[in-house]
Amino acid sequence: MGRWPRPGLLLLGLLAGACGLALLAYCCARFDRRRRTAPDFQRRLRERRRKEREQAKEHEKEMRERKDTAKVQEFFLQEIQLGELWLERGEQKKAIEHLTNAISLCDHPAELMNILQQTLPPQVFEMLEHRIPYITQRLEAALSEQDPPDE
């Protein structure tokens, strides 16, 4: 078995470790005091906290937009389904109303129109084409009422 170091060396090692630890604590305390007494410390601290608050608000906004996007998608699917339902029942005017609502919400209305042209009877698609300008005007009016102009 190995021998234990001499008691003098053990004491010297412990003393060196304690001195190193004391020096580290002193340096940390001095650095912290110099940082806090710096003239621009409070300003930088306020700026950092303001940036953190802005980032938190931005994150909340993104989450709300995702929820809003999910609601829009749900409403879009609901309008398509209602349009199909009213077509099955023979109520073409009600079907057109719901389909135009779906078109106004769609990100790619031209693609949706191509799909509807292939699936709808020609007279219903023609009615739909004539109804689109009115729905667009109604949507623009609703958006202008909802969003006040920026000045």
pLDDT at 141 over 80: no
Confidence of residue 151 (pLDDT cuts 50, 70, 90): very low
Over residues 32-48, the mean pLDDT reads: 87
Q: How many residues does the chain have?
A: 151
Sequence-distant (≥ 6) Cβ neighbours of residue 84 within 8 angstroms:
95
Summary mean pLDDT of the chain = 83
In this model, does residue 68 exceed pLDDT 60? yes
pLDDT band with cut points at 50, 70 and 90 for residue 26? very high
pTM (2 d.p.): 0.51
Mean pLDDT of 83-98: 89
Bigger pLDDT: 130 or 19? 19
The gap from C-alpha 120 to its chain's centroid, in whole angstroms, comes to: 36
- Maximal CA-CA distance, the chain: 105
Instruction: Report yes or no: 102 and 112 within 8 Å, Cβ to Cβ.
Output: yes
Q: How confident is the model at residue 148 (pLDDT cuts 50, 70, 90)?
A: low
Q: What is the Cα–Cα distance from 66 to 60, expressed in whole angstroms?
A: 10
